[in-house]
Amino acid sequence: MSGQDTSVRSALTHAGRRVLPESTQANPRLRQVIADRREIAAMTRDRVSSPITAFKFYALTTPGKLVVVMFAMVLACGLTGWYSSSNLNARSETMESLIDRSEPLAEAAEVLYSSLSVADAAANSAFISGGRESPDLRRQYADAIASSGTSLVASADGGELASTSATASGVTVRDDLNTMAVQIPAYTGVIETARTNNRLGNPVGSAYLVQASAIMQENILPAAERLYNERSAAISEPQRTLTVPPWGVYVALFTTIAMLAVFGRYLARRTRRHFNIGLVAALVALGFGTLWLLGTGLASVAAANTAKTSGAEPLHELTTMRILTQQARSVETLSLVRRSDPGQLDREFSSAINQIRATTAGLIGTHDDPDIVTPLRQVQKSLVLWERAHTEVTQRLSAGDFNAARALTIGTGDISTASGYEQVNNSLLTAIEQARETFRQNINTAQQLLSYTGTVIGWLCVVAAAAVVGGLVVRIREYR
């Protein structure tokens, strides 16, 4: 018996070499031991010679599978946290930029355009008053020029935007700013020349005023309009994405939660334990983050949508209406400066009034905010008075009664184009301020709702990743 044991040990030592007597080779138990030893030796050699093979071997084992899945879950939580945080923080920064930068620039561009139009209309009105103009008209002109200068500086505060952005016509914003910076002083110089000649009673004063108005209408106002359109686009473009929920973040969170749930089911079957504390904690963290996002995200989208439909969109239309109002007043007064049949100027006036009336009716029909609808209804009433007075001025001017036409144009009575213009302009200013306030309030609300959401979800994903590691390490260590 001892001799046979020695033979077995020798066989095991030599890994299956033929060192046993023939009589012992027929033993089935011995052959199985030798085969197992050969397999172990071959696997050991392969693992030592190739780390990849060793990894594949370990990955096929139960603890290896748990380690691989653990790293996959940690990676999924990390990527979800990074993507969610960066996406939501970017939306929050966009809203903050709208309030702090884009909207003030658009407002400055609108004030610039309106002030230039007011200055032109005031200069025409002062001229037709004859001799030394009234202090009110003089002050109105001076205030408009001063406001346009301040707004020009504010509108130019675009940094790199002013140097690289181009309008639809291919003219850069910087070119428009340079045009206004050069042409506005030239315009005011010609106006002063016209005013001086008018005081002296020289007929050439009207020619200078027509020249100044041409500079304003052909050079300055088109540049101001392009600048305003570009600044307005900087508000409307980001809102296309802000009014859409962050679907990508929702998909990432729900996908990670589903992965954790499926893996928790698999782990319960393998370990015969219903729950893993780490996975449960990770699911709770991600579930809380998802509920947080559902609440703040949807509320933020609703506020952004209100800012767009009740703020930005009516604001743009109201501003366009005010610009048309200034244009109508300019052509109306310019027709008296020329002291001839209005002709084309009268058609331009009617076209502007019709556009204002149509836009007003559209806004009243699509909006129910009384703070906007009420001044718009006043605009409709004032337009009727303005048109009635304008018709009377046209008839007097056609009949050669310049003094009566002038009185109806610059007078302060109820039947006066100046009174109708002032009422329309003041009502539009009230509606514009309300629309701007609605826009800023809702964008600010949307930004505050999302200000911490991205950071909170990012940290919750970190907590979920740590919980996954803590919950699975305990299970892995059981396989020592």
Nearest Cα neighbor of 172 from 148, 150, 156 is 156
Q: Which of 86-100, 133-147, 347-361, 448-462 has the lowest mean pLDDT?
A: 133-147
Mean pLDDT, the chain, whole residue set: 80
What's the pLDDT tens digit per position in 45-59? 555 555 555 555 555
How much is the pTM?
A: 0.74
Q: How far is CA 206 from CA 83, 186, 339, 410, 411, in A?
A: 66, 17, 10, 17, 20
Res 27: pLDDT = 64
Alpha helices in 50-172 (DSSP H): 51-59, 62-97, 103-128, 135-155, 160-164
Nearest Cα neighbor of 443 from 238, 241, 244, 300 is 300
Beta strands in 403-449 (DSSP E): none
d(CA 258, CA 338): 78
What's the pLDDT tens digit per position in 233-284? 888 777 777 888 888 899 999 999 998 888 888 777 766 666 778 888 999 9
C-alpha 111 chain-centroid distance: 22
Alpha helices in 308-416 (DSSP H): 313-338, 344-366, 370-398, 402-410
Domain boundaries, the chain: 2-59, 62-232+245-477
**Mean pLDDT: which of 49-58, 195-204, 287-296 is highest?**
287-296
Tally of residues, the chain: 480
Tokens 């209408």 locate to 217
What's the pLDDT tens digit per position in 421-451? 888 989 999 999 999 898 889 888 888 888 8
d(CA 176, CA 180): 6
Res 196: pLDDT = 83
Q: Which helix (H) or strand (E) holds 109?
A: helix 103-128
Which residues are within 8 A (CB) of 145 and not within 5 positions of it... i.e. 6 or more apart?
Answer: 115, 119, 184, 188
Average pLDDT value for residue range 318-336:
84
Res 54: pLDDT = 52
Confirm if 401 and 360 have CB atoms less than 8 A apart: no
d(CA 194, CA 477): 95
Which residues are within 8 A (CB) of 128 and not within 5 positions of it... i.e. 6 or more apart?
Answer: 333, 336, 337, 406, 409, 410
d(CA 271, CA 273): 5
